[in-house]
Amino acid sequence: MPSSRLWLARPFGERSTLIFLAVLGATMALVVAANLLLAPEHPLHVSTYTVTLLGKYLCYALLAVAVDLVWGYLGILSLGHGAFFALGGYAMGMYLMRQIGDRGVYGDPLLPDFMVFLDWDSLPWYWLGFDMAGFAFVMVLLAPGLLALVFGFLAFRSRVTGVYLSIITQALTFALMLAFFRNEMGFGGNNGLTDFKELLGFDLSADATRLGLFIASGVALALGFLLCRAIVVSKLGRVCVAVRDAESRTRFLGYRVERYQQFVFVVSAMLAGVAGALYVPQVGIINPSEFSPLFSIEVVVWVALGGRATLYGAVIGALAVNYAKSVFTGVMPEAWLFALGALFVLVTVLLPQGIAGLLSRSRQQGSDDDSDTQPDTPTDTLDATPREATP
Amino acid sequence: MNSIAGRHWLSALVLLCLVALGLGQAWAQDAGASEAASSDQGPALLSALAESSFRDKEAAIDAIAESGDERARRWLESFAEGKLARVKDSGAIVVVLENRGRNWPVADALTLEPAGEISRRELDRVSINNSLRGYLDSTLALIDLRVDDPAQRLAAARDLLGEVEAEAVDSLSELAAAESDPEVAATLEQAIAIARVEQGDVAAVEALSGSLNGQARAALMQASRSDDVALAEAAQAALAESEQALKLNRAAETLYFGLSLGSVLVLAAIGLAITFGVMGVINMAHGELIMLGAYTTWAMQQLLPGQPGLALLLAIPAGFLVAALVGVAIERGVIQFLKGRPLETLLATFGVSLILQQLVRTLISPLNRTVVTPEWMSGSLVINEALSLTLNRLYVLGFAILVFAALMLVMRRTRLGLEVRAVTQNRAMARSMGIRATRVDILTFALGSGVAGLAGVALSQLTNVGPNLGQNYIIDSFMVVVFGGVGNLWGTLVAGLSLGVINQVLEPWAGAVLAKILVLVFIILFIQKRPRGLFPQKGRAAEG
């Protein structure tokens, strides 16, 4: 394997990566400029509210990239990535809770409000250390990473794949949701963690902090994208695609399939955790609904809409669906679930390659394109027995 | 073991009722005759009560109680409440209906008809003291024990448990000996035994041994702390015995609730097991098909107001049809385009489930609808004092077994079942043998969806019917199918029932939510050990 510096730098040789980074950078620069330089009366002014909203979308986009990494390149349809996202968010939320200090409603210097309300007299052991930013940020990576490690160790070693794996990931996030709803868990139960004051000493309600979080989200997305790209174009990534397309054959060739799956799954979970951690200070709350199976499966449809196994497609899908969601829920909230449901059906039936598929098809029109030139295109052979397409 | 005991109880009860009916009639004739002869006794009895001294009033009360007069109960009750009074002028006894204000409305004590209002000053209250009140209470119970209806006697006997005064023991013993109904007699014996134990009678402890009654156990508890060593030891032994019996009954109750929950899981999962097994696709809209079945029940009850039972019975075929038709629509509209892409099918059907949910919310209501439980399904089957089984759950359990048996018949004895099994095992081979796989797909989907509709009809009797009904069952259903092994109906049955029981066993010490989490974690771990479920398919089909 090449040295790590070269390994991470390799995606810069790709045109698509450069385009993606350029577009992302330019858009963010424009948003920041429009927020800071233009007067609030100016028609092109971007309000801080919108900046935070966009920051939220960027976090979702990072989550979608994480899902695309395992679904697009490893063939693991995770219906539980919301759990990793939420765990990262809770780790951040716990840090933010500890930062409140004695400014809570009950003014307890040590205990968060909900613990005072529940008559707890001391901090549970798993809350210790979260007053230190460094520790909390490590936990943002470690908590989802460890869960993915344990879960992946159990699942991949016994070769649970395909639909079974999807259902188990869904059960995982469902179980976690039920657990976090319990007050006894010590994570605020139903209400979750909220009422945050400051992050690293910066006031969370200040415009500058919000802008900073937006930029941080964008940088995290760019780095996450680069990391995923680096994995995908490396030899490791090639093996992953082989596992996706023919798991048994790859195993017969001598590859330890479960190790590849394990590694990529943990990396993906950590990325999701980072996305959650950046998401929480921007929305100002984390509660168990982030664990809901519906959210996790929604993420998958962002990826499906954008286009599987492209990474940039996941970003497009996440932004598009969430923008549509904001518009719909504002204009006619009851129609949103119809639209989302229809999106699920239409994308899978009519648009299996997603928006990215449309883009590349129009770009390559005329040129004699051989499917071999597109190794990223997923061919869905997740079950080993071939099935006929038509009777 | 308990259910067998229960059956014995039941047959004994029926026998008893028959015997009691015969005896009761004879007794009623007796009572009628004596009443006719003593129709004039009333004024004498009452004035005896009003005029005698406190010491003699007990005798007067006894005279009233033993008169067999059907007004006796009312008189004594009024007396106990201090509402029996004598009109100063006429000497007639009246019952004060309301003792407020200047003029009191009264009723004639003999006819018990309202007799206008009488000034407070015109009335002399028939006086009573506390010791008399205690005596009256047990006397009233004795009166209740003499009525014709065995059910009423049983209720009276139950009221006596732990309430028997020391003086009443002898008269109660006589009654118990004369009692024709064995259940009433047994209850009386127990009441007497409680009184005796309270007085420190070691011999009576034996009668309470193993009793499930709270009063009996309280008496034993007290006796076990007594200074009398023999009594305390005997009571402790008896208490241990009843503790044992109670534990057994609690276990039976947990088992029943577990099986009930399990039967619901089986109903919800079995349709999924069929479609998943045959087509290898996950129908995420399965939960919404269950919901449609439940809503069909509601709609039927709206169409047939006042006849919830008939509507429920009609909802069984209707729910099957509605869900089956929607299922076929899903298969033809979505799933057939996604052959061989199980993960995409999962996503698309999830979209369908969102649309169906929102459709119900928009067209009917986002709020829960009430589905009436017909009279023959409400109430519960009382086995003993510690164990009673709710009837609606019993019916659902039976219904689940019926549906399972019917499905087994279809799968084992019909041409469709044969074809379904063939396609499940090896689609390519089945097709080359001339089976039209597409037709089998459609029919299987209709069957699986229809069973989901049946599950909905059953569920409407147990839970709220709302747009989220299906969502709550979809993950559980998958767990059952995966746990039991895909394409295996027996596996689904065993998995569903055992998960239900496990859940109920865990619940008391872990709480409902934690129990559910533990079950989910257990299944996740189980799948790691046996990725193909409890009863995996054998041979090449298992490689899928």
Residue of B nearest to A300 (CA): B347
**Residue A31: strand, helix, or coil:** helix
Residue A285 is classified by DSSP as: E
Q: At what angle do helices B471-484 and B489-510 cross, to 10 degrees?
A: 120
Q: Do A163 and B341 touch (CB under 8 A)?
A: no
Q: A381: distance to nearest CA of chain B, Å?
A: 8
Q: A391: distance to nearest CA of chain B, Å?
A: 6
Tens digits of residue pLDDT in A146-156: 999 988 888 88
Q: How far apart (Å, rounded) are the C-alpha atoms in residues A152 and A258?
A: 8
The shortest CB-CB distance from A304 to any of B339, B347, B438 is to B347
Per-residue confidence (pLDDT) for residue A374, from 0 to 100: 42
The shortest CB-CB distance from B527 to any of A160, A342, A387 is to A160
Confidence of residue B317 (pLDDT cuts 50, 70, 90): very high
Structure ipTM: 0.81
Residue A239 pLDDT greater than 70, yes or no: yes
Flag the least confident range among A172-186, A278-292, B506-520: B506-520
Q: Cα(first)–Cα(last) distance of chain B, in Å?
A: 43
Task: Report the mean per-residue pLDDT for chain A.
Answer: 81
The shortest CB-CB distance from A338 to any of B339, B358, B436 is to B358
How many CA atoms lie less than 13 Å away from B177 in the CB half-sphere? 6
Fold assignment, B249-375+390-539: ABC transporter involved in vitamin B12 uptake, BtuC (1.10.3470)
Residue of A nearest to B518 (CA): A175
Residue A391 pLDDT greater than 50, yes or no: no
Residue of A nearest to B342 (CA): A163
Mean pLDDT of the region B111-129: 77
Other beta carbons within 10 angstroms of residue B522's beta carbon come to 15
Relative to beta strand B103-108, strand B114-119 is: antiparallel
Residue A46 pLDDT greater than 90, yes or no: no
Q: Do B482 and A164 touch (CB under 8 A)?
A: yes
With beta carbons less than 8 A apart as the criterion, state whether B194 and B162 touch.
yes
Q: Do B348 and A170 touch (CB under 8 A)?
A: no
Q: Do A175 and B431 touch (CB under 8 A)?
A: no
Q: How far apart (Å, rounded) are the C-alpha atoms in residues B160 and B154?
A: 10
Cα R_g (chain B), whole angstroms: 33
Confidence of residue B542 (pLDDT cuts 50, 70, 90): very low
Percent of chain A scoring above 70 in pLDDT:
91
Per-residue confidence (pLDDT) for residue A5, from 0 to 100: 55
Residues of chain B contacting A337 with CB distance shorter than 8 Å: 354-355, 357-358, 361
Per-residue confidence (pLDDT) for residue B538, from 0 to 100: 62
Confidence of residue B10 (pLDDT cuts 50, 70, 90): low
Domain residue ranges of chain A, discontinuous segments joined by +: 4-359
Question: Which residue of B272, B279, B334, B354 to mutate against A (max A Cβ within 10 Å)?
Answer: B354
Q: How far apart (Å, rounded) are the C-alpha atoms in residues B336 and B315?
A: 29
**Residue B181: strand, helix, or coil:** coil
Mean pLDDT of the region B58-66: 75
Flag the least confident range among A48-62, A99-113, A375-389: A375-389
**Residue B123: strand, helix, or coil:** strand
Mean pLDDT of the region B471-476: 82
Tell how far CA B176 is from the center of its chain: 30
The residue among B189, B188, B178, B177 whose CA lies nearest residue B154 is B188
Residue B423 pLDDT greater than 60, yes or no: yes
The shortest CB-CB distance from A158 to any of B478, B529, B544 is to B529
Regarding predicted confidence, which is higher, B536 or A33?
Answer: A33
Residue with tokens 């506390």: B130
Regarding predicted confidence, which is higher, A228 or A353?
Answer: A228
Residue A58 pLDDT greater than 80, yes or no: yes
Residues of chain B contacting A185 with CB distance shorter than 8 Å: none
The residue among A52, A75, A48, A85 whose CA lies nearest residue A172 is A85
Task: Report the mean per-residue pLDDT for chain B.
Answer: 78
Domain residue ranges of chain B, discontinuous segments joined by +: 249-375+390-539
Residue B84 is classified by DSSP as: E
Residue A388 pLDDT greater than 50, yes or no: no
Mean pLDDT of the region A354-370: 66
Q: A32: distance to nearest CA of chain B, Å?
A: 37
Query: Could you write out the DSSP letters of every residue in A343-377?
Result: HHHHHHHH-TTHHHHHHHHHHTTTS---GGG-TTS
Interface of A with B in 285-324 (CB under 8 A): 293, 297, 300-301, 304
With beta carbons less than 8 A apart as the criterion, state whether A100 and A294 touch.
no
Residue A373 pLDDT greater than 70, yes or no: no
Strand partners, B96: B106
Other beta carbons within 10 angstroms of residue B424's beta carbon come to 23
Q: A199: distance to nearest CA of chain B, Å?
A: 33
Residues of chain B contacting A167 with CB distance shorter than 8 Å: 282, 475, 478-479, 482
Q: Do B482 and A178 touch (CB under 8 A)?
A: no
Q: Which amino acid is at A250?
A: T
Q: Cα(first)–Cα(last) distance of chain A, in Å?
A: 47
Q: A68: distance to nearest CA of chain B, Å?
A: 14
Q: Do A341 and B351 touch (CB under 8 A)?
A: yes
Confidence of residue B8 (pLDDT cuts 50, 70, 90): low
CATH entry 3.30.300 includes domain A4-359 = no
Residue A112 is classified by DSSP as: -
Residue B405 pLDDT greater than 60, yes or no: yes
Residue B52 pLDDT greater than 50, yes or no: yes
Residues of chain B contacting A348 with CB distance shorter than 8 Å: 338, 341, 344-345, 347-348, 351
Q: Which helix (H) or strand (E) holds B116?
A: strand B114-119
Confidence of residue B471 (pLDDT cuts 50, 70, 90): confident
Q: Do B343 and A340 touch (CB under 8 A)?
A: no
Both structure tokens of A58: 């960027």
The shortest CB-CB distance from A340 to any of B354, B359, B544 is to B354
Per-residue confidence (pLDDT) for residue B167, from 0 to 100: 67
Q: Do A158 and B528 touch (CB under 8 A)?
A: yes
Q: Do A154 and B353 touch (CB under 8 A)?
A: no
Flag the least confident range among A80-84, A151-155, A387-391, B359-363: A387-391
With beta carbons less than 8 A apart as the criterion, state whether B269 and B470 touch.
no
Q: How far apart (Å, rounded) are the C-alpha atoms in residues B446 and B188?
A: 59
Q: Do B351 and A345 touch (CB under 8 A)?
A: yes
Question: Which residue of A150, A160, A168 to mutate against B (max B Cβ within 10 Å)?
Answer: A168
**Residue B381: strand, helix, or coil:** strand
Other beta carbons within 10 angstroms of residue B1's beta carbon come to 8
Residue of A nearest to B353 (CA): A341
Tens digits of residue pLDDT in A158-180: 777 777 788 888 888 888 888 88
